[in-house]
């Protein structure tokens, strides 16, 4: 069986792969995202394209150091075409959630697979999420209860936890929202004979 490597320190992505029964190792991608994002934004790139490129860069970087199929992934939050980054503090998280309140945003999740510094698979999926018009009191209680945990995701929520209460409507794949288009990845790995068909 082909060796699988996840070039990501994301616990959520590792949980998704483990839950799907994959045998893999996890390594850091070693990619500095900031200059890539800045350069792409300077050229007018859309958040969806940025998610794809970052996933590809992580897969390629990992594949120069590890044998087998190296999986890279990234997710961007797109609010009316603007790229939104992770909040650095609870005060910033509160402001972010107020900005999302009553509005739709999109999550673009990119996945790429590389072998020996060559891309062999790239895919991006998008989910659209409509945040409900929650009260300030509910928001304060949510942030107090979940604390710094909300800073681990770009939208300041975990759909698999209490963050699901933020939403009135969700269109898209659950795995995409968690940061990995899992079904498309599994299909590719079966075609590559890296998983039993």
Active site residues: 74
Q: Which residues pair with 7 in a beta bridge?
A: 27
**How far is 121 from 143, CA to CA, in rounded Å?**
38
- Closest by Cα among 173, 41, 162 to 107: 173
**How far is 54 from 194, CA to CA, in rounded Å?**
23
**How far is 144 from 72, CA to CA, in rounded Å?**
33
**CA distances in angstroms from 155 to 4, 79, 84, 178, listed in the order given:** 29, 10, 8, 11
Which residues neighbour 194 within 8 Å (Cβ) at sequence distance 6 or greater?
A: 1, 2, 4, 69
Q: Which residues pair with 112 in a beta bridge?
A: 72, 122
């Amino acid at each position: 069986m082909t060796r699988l490597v996840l070039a990501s320190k994301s616990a959520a992505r590792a949980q998704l792969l483990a839950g799907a029964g994959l045998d893999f190792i996890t390594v850091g991608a070693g990619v500095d995202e900031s200059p890539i994002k800045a350069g792409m934004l300077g050229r007018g790139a859309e958040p969806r394209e940025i998610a794809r490129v970052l996933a590809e860069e992580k897969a390629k970087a990992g594949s120069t150091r590890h044998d087998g199929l190296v999986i890279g992934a990234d997710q961007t939050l797109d609010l009316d075409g603007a790229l939104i980054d992770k909040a650095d503090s609870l005060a910033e998280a509160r402001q972010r959630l107020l900005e999302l309140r009553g509005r739709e945003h999109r999550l673009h999740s990119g996945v790429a697979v590389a072998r020996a510094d060559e891309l062999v698979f790239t895919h991006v999926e998008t989910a659209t999420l409509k945040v409900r018009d929650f009260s300030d009191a509910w928001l304060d209680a949510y942030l107090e209860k979940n604390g710094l945990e909300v800073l681990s995701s770009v939208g300041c929520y975990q759909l698999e936890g209490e963050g699901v209460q933020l939403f009135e409507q969700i269109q898209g794949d659950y795995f995409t929202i968690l940061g990995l288009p899992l079904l498309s990845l599994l299909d590719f790995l079966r075609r590559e004979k890296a998983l039993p068909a």
